[in-house]
Structure 1
Amino acid sequence: MNAQVGSRPYQEATARLPLVRTFLEARYRKAFFAHRALTHHIYRGVFRTFDDAQASIPAGHASGYDNTESADLYRERTRRVFINDYPMMHWLGRWFADGARSVFDIGGHIGIAYYAYQKYLAYPRDLRWTVMDVPAVNAAGERWASEHDPHARLRFADDVAQASGTDVLFAAGSLQYLRHSLAEMLAKMDRKPRFLLLNSVPVHMRESYFTVQNIGTACCPYRVTAERDFLGGITSLGYELQDRWENPQRYCVVPFHPELSLDRYFGFAFRSIQA
């Protein structure tokens, strides 16, 4: 049923049949909150704010990553990289060569990129890699690091303000889960990071909105940002775009809203022009 509801022709047809659409939306809502597949994320609804999206999640349903089941996800990703990781490794390697020694990884879970990339990059001996995540994930990450990080380069944080003064602000598939936009967070930092390395960012060509994502273990408010808002917000803070790439393996189908669905995500590398 999900594939049918999520298909563009089907959505466009039902949009012209209000009674049918109302019935299908109600049926999809039930299926959405019953979804438990970890390998297939699904989406529901369009909302103006993070709080509106959060309010649409039933009170008894798990929300966000701050729970044991969500914290136990992604262990296999510490041992492999994907095609969209290669631009990230390219720029990280260049910036290490340029003197970068600290990475602040927003939503890096237990340190997925830190572990996976070290097989392909020569990490500086004095590297400090800090992951910021929710308490349940940080606790799981510290337990994992006690056994898998012999060089003790990995640290954990609970506040994005701790990214102030870091060399590289790193975010791979995490910005969409945050209450505040990246530009809003950067604007509050006294010393902004020299470099921004961002991957798997859901960017729409025209519209900014929130939806809700079901990751199998919980539901999460999910930010999609208009291209002009995303790029304009960052460049207005003194950053210059160095690179941009597409990830066609990631997509976001919002049933009943074909005009807002995404058929690819994006990655970006920025350098501070003041660095």
Structure 2
Amino acid sequence: MNVLVDSRPHQDATARMPLIRGILEARYKRRFFAHRELAYHLYRGVYDSFDDAQASIPPGNASGYDNNESADLYRERTRRVFINDYPMIHWLGRFFAEGARDVFDVGGHIGIAYYAYQKYLSYPASLRWTVMDVPAVNAAGAAWAKEHDAPGRLGFADDIASASGADVLFAAGSLQYLSYSLADALSPMPRRPRFLLLNSVPVHMRQSYYTVQNIGTACCPYHVTAEREFLGGLASLGYELQDRWENPQRYCIVPFHPELSLDRYFGFAFRLAT
């Protein structure tokens, strides 16, 4: 099912009529929380905060990635890359050439990028790659590493504060799940990472908001950030934008809110000014 096409009836003028819109929203709510397909994700609602988005998820629905079903996702991605990975591979290779050896991977699941990218990059002998994720995912990653990480370069952490002192903070499609902004996380670090390498970031040109995403195994609060807020927050910490790219294969359709829906995501490479 094409979720982009499927969402269009909610966006037309009829859906803006109060009575009809109420009926459509109730019907979509039932469909949203019953969704179990892994092939595509659904989005619902607009909220001012992570907590408000979290509170909208019924107690009977699994929430977030800290569960066995969500932890078992994405195994096939350890063996392949996608077109939007190539800018990340390019910049990571450049950062390695400049001496980067310590990568802190925010929301890297079981180490998806670590495994997939080694086919395309010569990893430094002294590489240390640390994934920060939720407990269920970290446990699954540690178990997977016993059989698949012969060099023993992969480790796991549960707090983004551990990124202090890393050479590269790497985040691919994960910043939107955090209850805090990246700038807020970096601000108190004694030694901020020299490089930021960020991919699949949902950025709206004008407005920040939270929605809820159903990934098939669970529902997750999901943060879309205004462009000025996202870039300005990092610039205020001394990060200089090196590159920016678009990923039109990713989109976020929020039914009943066409003005907030996204038709593409973005990637960024930053360097800390010296």
Give the TM-score normalised by structure 2: 0.98
Tell me the secondary structure at the aligned position of residue 222 of structure 1: strand
What is the CA distance between 1:5 and its match in structure 2?
A: 5.5
- What residue in structure 1 maps to residue 99 of structure 2? 99
- What residue in structure 1 maps to residue 135 of structure 2? 135
Tell me the secondary structure at the aligned position of residue 141 of structure 2: helix
Distance in 2 between residues matched to 1:149 and 1:172, nearest whole Å: 20
Q: Which amino acid aligns with 1:236?
A: S
**1:28-56, Cα deviation, whole Å (9 max, x unpaired):** 00000000000100100000000000000
Distance in 2 between residues matched to 1:244 and 1:67, nearest whole Å: 33
- What residue in structure 1 maps to residue 63 of structure 2? 63
What is the CA distance between 1:4 and its match in structure 2?
A: 5.6
After the TM superposition, which residues 124-203 of structure 1 pair with which residues of structure 2 at under 5 Å, given as runs?
A: 124-203=124-203
Q: Conserved in 1, the CA contact under 8 Å of 2:243 and 2:270?
A: yes
Distance in 2 between residues matched to 1:14 and 1:233, nearest whole Å: 39
After the TM superposition, which residues 10-49 of structure 1 pair with which residues of structure 2 at under 5 Å, given as runs?
A: 10-49=10-49
Tell me the secondary structure at the aligned position of residue 244 of structure 1: strand
Q: Conserved in 2, the CA contact under 8 Å of 1:5 and 1:256?
A: no
Gaps of 5+ in 1: none
Q: Conserved in 2, the CA contact under 8 Å of 1:209 and 1:223?
A: yes
- What residue in structure 2 maps to residue 118 of structure 1? 118
Distance in 2 between residues matched to 1:73 and 1:3, nearest whole Å: 23
Distance in 2 between residues matched to 1:4 and 1:245, nearest whole Å: 25
Total equivalences in the alignment = 273
Distance in 2 between residues matched to 1:103 and 1:4, nearest whole Å: 39
What is the CA distance between 1:205 and its match in structure 2?
A: 0.3
Change (3 A) 1:120 1:5: closer
The alignment status of 1:219 with 2:219, answered yes or no, reads: yes
Tell me the secondary structure at the aligned position of residue 73 of structure 1: coil
**1:220-246, Cα deviation, whole Å (9 max, x unpaired):** 000000000000000110000000000
> What value does the CA root-mean-square deviation take over the aligned residues?
1.1
Change (3 A) 1:271 1:4: closer
**1:132-190, Cα deviation, whole Å (9 max, x unpaired):** 00000000000000000000000000010000010000000000000000000001211
Q: Which amino acid aligns with 1:35?
A: H
Distance in 1 between residues matched to 2:160 and 2:259, nearest whole Å: 33
Change (3 A) 1:108 1:12: same
Distance in 2 between residues matched to 1:131 and 1:90, nearest whole Å: 20
**Percent identity (aligned):** 78
Distance in 2 between residues matched to 1:3 and 1:242, nearest whole Å: 32
Distance in 2 between residues matched to 1:11 and 1:234, nearest whole Å: 34
**1:199-255, Cα deviation, whole Å (9 max, x unpaired):** 000000000000000000000000000000000000110000000000000000000
What is the CA distance between 1:24 and its match in structure 2?
A: 0.3
Q: Conserved in 1, the CA contact under 8 Å of 2:238 and 2:272?
A: yes
Distance in 1 between residues matched to 2:76 and 2:271, nearest whole Å: 31
- What residue in structure 1 maps to residue 269 of structure 2? 269
Distance in 1 between residues matched to 2:144 and 2:263, nearest whole Å: 34
Q: Conserved in 2, the CA contact under 8 Å of 1:50 and 1:222?
A: yes
Tell me the secondary structure at the aligned position of residue 125 of structure 2: coil
The alignment status of 1:246 with 2:271, answered yes or no, reads: no
Q: Conserved in 1, the CA contact under 8 Å of 2:4 and 2:253?
A: no
Gaps of 5+ in 2: none
Tell me the secondary structure at the aligned position of residue 260 of structure 1: coil
- What residue in structure 1 maps to residue 108 of structure 2? 108
Tell me the secondary structure at the aligned position of residue 27 of structure 1: helix
Q: Conserved in 2, the CA contact under 8 Å of 1:53 and 1:210?
A: yes
What is the CA distance between 1:126 and its match in structure 2?
A: 0.3
